[in-house]
Amino acid sequence: MAVYTHLSSSEIAEILSAYDVGSLRSAKGIAEGVSNSNWLVETVQDNAARHFILTVFEARTEAEELPFFLSLLDHLSARGQPVPRTIHTRDDARMITIRGKPAALIEFLPGISIDEPSPIEAGAVGSALAGLHRATGDFPGTRRSSLPLRTCIEMLRAHADRFDEIDPELSRLLPDCGASLLRDWPSGLPEGIIHADLFPDNVLFVNGAVTGLIDFYFACTGMLAFDLAVTHAAWSFTAKENAFRPQIGTALMQGYEASRALSPAERQALPILAQAACLRFVATRVEDWFATPADGLVRRKDPMQFVRRLAFYREQGEAAFRT
């Protein structure tokens, strides 16, 4: 379970007393996620049940960046996006401190995540992503990515002599650790605040409609088309066989462009951006692979899943994004 800071029910009740959210009815640790400690909290207020997510931010989340993330949630929620708002304390604070760690109470949104999306759901995600990009146009905050392309290349180079321990194919498919992408890296494309991690488990649905975009802790200032490429790479392949589903990719692209049309330069850059998106996930998975014991409680994610997706985008080019 992804709960590193263990809290008793009496402690959670005391924490909630700082908010105008009613009294604690139940609190359950949430197993999903690997970076922070999370609880699904139910309270009772005026004889009505209310639900929230209580998050304690652990060491991997930089405390000084939390005001950016939390104010972004409030900005998007205020503009009608399906994004959870932060619950402010009675003193109007977005953050509190629990056992010396920053924490926040966040609105709970209904819905479930989808492992194998339908074209309708993929189109809805594309539209939601475009809506997010439009809604952040007047957001005043900025944040540099913690995983730019050069950093990902350096992360892979640090482990290149051990690639065979993961899979002999890794060295063959990534002989330069992705450095060739720097040669064709685009410039001058539209930028804004991007989610940068919109995997299926970060989107909630009810009856095919998007009800929640969550987990904004990789959000940063970046190319909007890169965010689309990340989402395309995360959604357009089957989870088990890792096979490309063209109907999903097409629906996602169409959903996005129905709300925000891509420029010719953005469309041309998508194959490179998608390879860089895959490289980012390869880099973090390779690093975690060697940092996590084989018999550890946290299951290691296979870097080869995104190595092969990267190779697909390299081979298919713009054909992977046909609509």
Please report, for the domain that includes residue 65, its CATH number.
3.30.200.20
Same domain for 147 and 27:
no
Domain that holds residue 74: 9-107
The answer, yes or no, to whether residue 1 has pLDDT greater than 50, is no
At 62, is the pLDDT very low, low, confident or very high (cuts 50, 70, 90)? confident
What is the tally of structural domains in the chain?
2
Would residue 144 count as lying in a domain?
yes
At 33, is the pLDDT very low, low, confident or very high (cuts 50, 70, 90)? low
Distance CA 261, CA 190 (A): 12
Percent of the chain with pLDDT over 90: 86
Would residue 114 count as lying in a domain?
no
Q: Which of 45-54, 61-70, 113-122, 265-274 is predicted least confidently?
A: 61-70
Distance of CA 194 to the CA centre of its chain: 10
pLDDT in tens, 145-178: 999 999 999 999 999 999 999 999 999 999 999 9
In this prediction, residues 17-21 reach a mean pLDDT of 97
Same domain for 269 and 181:
yes
Same domain for 231 and 130:
yes
Same domain for 214 and 244:
yes
Same domain for 69 and 15:
yes
Sign of CA dihedral 291, 294, 300, 304: positive
Cβ partners under 8 Å of residue 121, min gap 6? 114, 205, 208
- Provide the whole-model pTM: 0.93
User: Which of 210, 225, 195 shows the shortest CA–CA distance to 72?
Assistant: 195
Q: Which of 72-86, 207-221, 289-303 is predicted least confidently?
A: 289-303
Residue showing tokens 């690997």: 34
